[in-house]
Amino acid sequence: MKEFAVIGLGRFGSSVAHALTQMGKSVLAIDLNEAKVQAMSDVVTHAVQADAADPENLKEIGIRNFDVVVVSIGDDLEASILVTMLLKEMGVKHVIAKAGSEVHSKVLQKVGADRVVFPEWDMGTRVAHNLVASNILDYIELSQDYTIVELKPPRRMVNKSLGDLHLRARHGINVVALRRNEELIVSPGADDVIGPEDVLVVVGRNEYMRSFQEEE
Ligand code: ATP
């Protein structure tokens, strides 16, 4: 089973540690702050009070044996960058680091983070899309160029088959699933007709996604 560690138990780190534990994963939680470690000790497999910016502490914890380490230190930039760098130097395969700004994100990538998350920014973008486009239910940026969107079909698409709409050929957009009442139709075919109450799950390049959005 994969072993996870979370360094920094602010709101984001604690939420990651909680969710992983709920999914039955083994989680080591680390923080400088004794009270935060105490609060987490009943939740996760192990909770340790330590300064993760000290390489000796990381060695003692045996951090290199963990498969995935999440660095969730926001305010102390120096610690966040140093810890990320040390983890990669020590051979941790997958390091996910939380950034608080664009510059922070760039530096974390430079020092070797395998993935940088930017929770406030990501959530802000999702909320903005949900607010502007009346038919967008959820929005996840997969990369700088691609997004996955869950939406109510624009009126012009209702009662047309996917084959008739030529979304892939014309717009490079793939409908990966159709939600109809309680049923989920995964990988719908050209003959599937879009119903007025259906929810579409589509993947495509950001610029083409706009053609789906109905302004409020
Ligand atoms: P959030 O927005 O997720 O609540 P935040 O980004 O504001 O969090 P911080 O307030 O920076 O997060 O908290 C991150 C946590 O990381 C704190 O609990 C802090 O004690 C811990 N932390 C900071 N430096 C280190 C370090 N060197 N080693 C271990 N833990 C650390």
Q: Where residue 175 sits, what CATH number does that domain have?
A: 3.30.70.1450
Domain boundary among 102, 117, 132: 117
Q: Within this chain, do residues 22 and 109 fall inside the same structural domain, yes or no?
A: yes
Domain boundary among 117, 132, 167: 117
Domain boundary among 117, 138, 155: 117
Tell me the Cα Rg of the chain.
21
Task: Look at residue 214 in the predicted model and tell me its pLDDT.
Answer: 61
Task: Work out which ligand 1 atom sits closest to the CA atom of 100.
Answer: 6
Q: Within this chain, do residues 41 and 21 fall inside the same structural domain, yes or no?
A: yes
Q: What is the mean pLDDT of residues 114-142?
A: 82
Q: What is the mean pLDDT of residues 13-19?
A: 96
**pLDDT over 90 at 5, yes or no:** yes
Give the chain's domain count: 2
Q: Within this chain, do residues 131 and 111 fall inside the same structural domain, yes or no?
A: no
**Would the pTM of this model clear 0.85, i.e. be above it?**
no
Nearest alpha carbon, ligand 1 atom 21: 8
Q: Within this chain, do residues 164 and 112 fall inside the same structural domain, yes or no?
A: no
pLDDT class of 213 with cuts at 50, 70, 90:
low
Q: What is the pLDDT of residues 146-158, one digit of tens each?
A: 889 898 998 889 9
Distance in Å, CA 68 to ligand 1 centroid: 18
Q: Within this chain, do residues 112 and 131 fall inside the same structural domain, yes or no?
A: no
Pocket test for ligand 1, best of 14, 61, 70, 72 (most atoms within 8 A of CB): 72
Q: Long-range contacts for 43-47 (Cβ within 8 Å, ≥24 apart)?
A: 43/17, 43/18, 44/6, 44/17, 45/21
Q: Which of 142, 141, 138, 143 is nearest to 127 (CA)?
A: 138
User: What is the CATH number for 87?
Assistant: 3.40.50.720
- Which has more pLDDT, 129 or 37? 37
Distance CA 93, CA 202 (A): 31
Q: Within this chain, do residues 144 and 39 fall inside the same structural domain, yes or no?
A: no
Mean of all residue pLDDT scores within the chain: 91
The domain in which residue 12 lies consists of 3-117
Which residues form ligand 1's pocket by a CB distance below 6 Å?
A: 7-12, 30-33, 36, 51-53, 72-76, 79, 100
**pLDDT over 60 at 78, yes or no:** yes
Task: Look at residue 36 in the predicted model and tell me its pLDDT.
Answer: 97
Q: Within this chain, do residues 165 and 207 fall inside the same structural domain, yes or no?
A: yes
Percent of the chain with pLDDT over 70: 98
Distance in Å, CA 14 to ligand 1 centroid: 10
Task: Look at residue 216 in the predicted model and tell me its pLDDT.
Answer: 45
Q: Within this chain, do residues 166 and 85 fall inside the same structural domain, yes or no?
A: no
- Which has more pLDDT, 56 or 214? 56
Q: Within this chain, do residues 66 and 99 fall inside the same structural domain, yes or no?
A: yes
